[in-house]
Structure 1
Amino acid sequence: MGDLEPWRHAEPTPWSLGVLVTAVSVMFCALTLVGVYTLIGGIVRWAGLVAVLVVALAGSWTLWEFRFRPVWRWLVWGSLTGLLAGFGSAIALFALGQ
């Protein structure tokens, strides 16, 4: 039986550029969620937390399908890590009363 997904083993993994793309994705997503919390949480604190939860869940749900694609996997895992970090930061800001 042949390989049903030939793109998985086609080329060597570009680790250096992939880790750079992942790091940029982490920072972008984490800072985006902190910005969403700051913007909406400045009006109503709990609404900021709800908005961050909605954005994080929607982004994670959308990106999950691409996690095994050769190029997209770097963006996906970086973005998922950034969404998790941003959600944790929003919870910390909420707990601190900011």
Structure 2
Amino acid sequence: AITVQCMLGLVCDPVAGLVEIPCVVRNASAAAIANSSAQIALASVSSVIPVDEVIEAMGEIGSSMETRYKETALGGLAATKTGQAIARKVLIHTIEMLPDEEAR
């Protein structure tokens, strides 16, 4: 519960649809939060909100978030000027149709 409370409401906004930005750094930060949370728990400090209620709140937050912030690469950091420039360099925007599909 201590760890999850620190992660509530995070936007999943992969730049160019890839996990490198911001997920790699975010995952490292989450690991540090999890380690700190373990130390807090070992020190007999408990979460004020029970884990079941934290998970329920996480579901409610996720349900209320706009779709563009849910791993679509359409919002957040992915929508910034730099994020869009990276996407243009990384993604293939034109896909050639296969010969047998052109006949359809």
> Smaller-chain TM-score range?
0.3 to 0.5
For the pair shown, the structure with the greater C-alpha radius of gyration is 2
Question: What TM-score comes out, normalization by structure 2 length?
Answer: 0.35
Write 1 or 2 for the structure with the bigger share of helix. Answer: 1
Considering Cα pairs closer than 8 Å and 6+ residues apart, tell me whether 1 or 2 has the greater RCO: 2
**What is the TM-score of this pair, normalised by structure 1?**
0.36
